[in-house]
Amino acid sequence: MAIKDMLQRFPRRRLLNSETPVERLDRMSDLLSLDLWLKRDDLTGLGLGGNKTRQLEFYFGEALAQGADTVLITGAVQSNFVRSAAAAAARLGLEAVLQLEQRVPDMGALYHSSGNVLLGKILGAEHISYPMGEDEAGADHALHQRAETLRAEGRRPYVIHLGIDHPPLGALGYVLGGEELNRQISDFDVAVVPSGSGATHAGLLTGLRLVGQTAPVYGICVRRDQEQQSARLKTVLKKLADMMGFGPSLTLNDILTWDGALAPGYGIIGDTTREALTLMARTEGVFLDPVYTAKTFAGLLGLLKEGRIQPGQKVVMLHTGGLPALFGYQTELEGPGRV
Ligand SMILES: *Cc1c(COP(=O)(O)O)cnc(C)c1O
C-alpha cells in the first residue's frame, strides 16, 4: 500500500509550502573524504523552521478536526517544538500555551530570555513553567491541569503530549519526510539523524523502509544513552507501525543509535559539540544548533572515526534546525578558548 493511502485517515494541516532542499557539502566532503549531503529541514519555512514543522502538520490536523481553539505543549526552555507550535497556532488563528521545563541546569540569563523564549513571546503565547526536566508524565499531567482550567472557562484545548505512551503522531510527518528524501536522493550509503523523542528518527526510518530504501539510518543520541534510546525507539516504531497498519518487523531490526557525542548531556555544550558547530560554519557557512544538530554532526564525525562510516561513502545528514537556540546559548558558546 502507498504511504499516502496509509496516512489517509490521519487529518493533516499542511504547514510546509514546499520540499526542503538536499545540498552537497563540497568542501566538507573534500575535508572528510566523504560524499556528504545535507537535507535542509532547517528550512521548513514556518517561524524559523526546523523538524517540528513536519510533526506539527499531524498534531494541528487533529487539533483542528477536534475543533480546538488552544494548543498546549511542553518542552525544554529553549524548545524548538514549543516555538514552532506557537508559530503554527498563530498562523491558524489558535491560542498557544507553552510550558517550559527546567531540563538544563546552571544556565545563564540569556538561556532563559533569548532565542526561542523571545520568539515565543513575540508570537504572543502564554508561558507557564514546570520545575522538573526529566519527568515526562508529570509535565504532561501539569499540561492537562492547565487544559482543564481552560475547559472550565469555555475554551477548547488540545494537548500535544510529550510522554511515550501517546500515539507518535509527529512521526507521521517524518514518514513523509523519508519518502521525500528518497525521492530527492536515493543512492546514499548511510543516513544520520538526531534522535531525541525519537519521532524524527522513527518516522524517517519507517518512511525510507516503506519505499524500499535499505541504507542504515543512524540515530545520534542527544538526550539519552544508546541503550535507553534504542528501547525508546522500539516503542515508537511499534506504535507507529500499529497506527499505520503494517508489521513492525519492517523496521525493528534496523534500530541503530550512537551516543558517543552525547556528553556532557542533554542541552549542554561540550568541546566536541562546539568544534562540530564551528567546523560546519567555517567550512560551509551552514549553522548548526548547540542542542541537536551540532551533536548530530559530531556523531557523524565519530562514526567516521570508528569506521562505521567509511571514506568515500555517500552520507546524508538531516539538518533539523534549532538555530534560534544559538542565541539562547550565547554565554555558553562565547569566551576564552571558545568562539
Ligand atoms: C526536537 C528536535 C530534534 C529531535 O527530534 P525528535 O523528533 O524529538 O527526536 C532534533 N533537532 C532539533 C533542532 C529539534 O528541535
Average pLDDT over residues 226-241: 97
Per residue in 71-81, pLDDT (tens digit) is 999 999 999 99
Ligand 1 and 297: CB distance under 6 A: no
Query: What number of residues does the chain have?
Result: 339
> 95-126, pLDDT tens digit by residue?
999 999 998 988 989 999 999 999 999 999 99
Name the band, by pLDDT with cuts 50, 70 and 90, for residue 248. Answer: confident
The secondary structure of 194-259 as a DSSP string is EESSSHHHHHHHHHHHHTT--S-EEEEESSS-HHHHHHHHHHHHHHHHHHHTS-GGGTGGG-EEE-
Residue 271: CB partners within 8 Å, gap ≥ 6? Answer: none
169-184 vs 226-244: helix crossing angle, rounded to 10: 90
Residue-level pLDDT at 52: 98
Residues 221 and 302: their CA atoms lie apart, in Å, by 12
pLDDT band at 252 (very low <50, low <70, confident <90, very high): very high
pLDDT at 106: 87
Each residue's pLDDT tens digit, 52-63: 999 999 999 999
Ranges of each domain in the chain? 3-50+167-333, 52-160
Say what the pLDDT of residue 249 is. 85
Query: Which residue bears the cell 506539527?
Result: 56
Q: Cβ(22)–Cβ(185) under 8 Å?
A: yes
Distance in angstroms between the alpha carbons of the first and the last residue of the chain: 50
**CA 193 to centroid of ligand 1, rounded, Å:** 9
Q: What is the mean pLDDT of residues 131-141?
A: 89
pLDDT digits (tens, 9 = 90+) for 8-43: 999 999 999 999 999 999 999 999 999 999 999 999
| Nearest-10 Cα torsion for 296, 28, 215, 230 | -10
Evaluate if residue 173 carries a pLDDT over 80. yes
Report pLDDT digits (tens) over 304-327: 999 999 999 999 999 999 999 999
Q: Output the pLDDT for position 257.
A: 98
Same CATH topology for 3-50+167-333 and 52-160? yes
> Order of strands across the sheet with 126-130?
126-130, 95-101, 70-76, 157-160
Res 211: pLDDT? 97
pLDDT band at 228 (very low <50, low <70, confident <90, very high): very high
The response to whether residue 79 sits with its C-beta less than 6 Å from ligand 1 reads: no
- Coil, strand or helix: which one is 300? helix
Percent of the chain exceeding pLDDT 90 equals: 91
pLDDT at position 338: 80
Would residue 230 show up in a list of annotated catalytic residues for this protein? no
pLDDT of residue 306: 97
Candidate of 286, 320, 326, 329 to mutate for ligand 1, largest count of ligand atoms within 8 Å of Cβ: 320
CA-wise closest residue to 235 among 263, 270, 209, 199: 199
CA of 29 to the centre of ligand 1 (A): 25
Residue 122 Cα, ligand 1 centroid: separation in angstroms?
22
- Of the residues 79, 84, 197, 230, only one is catalytic, namely 79
Average pLDDT score over the chain? 96
Q: How far apart are CA 102 and CA 104, in angstroms?
A: 6
Q: What is the pLDDT of residue 30?
A: 98
Q: Which CATH architecture has domain 52-160?
A: 3-Layer(aba) Sandwich (3.40)
Domain 3-50+167-333 has CATH 3.40.50.1100: yes
Mean pLDDT, range 149-178, rounded to an integer: 96
pLDDT over 80 (residue 337): no
- Average pLDDT on 257-283 reads 96
Is residue 336 over pLDDT 80? no
Residue for grid cell 564525525: 301
Q: Rounded to an integer, what distance in angstroms lies between the CA atom of residue 87 and that of residue 263?
A: 31
**Residues with Cβ < 8 Å from 221, sequence gap 6 or more?**
195, 229, 257, 258, 259, 261, 262, 299
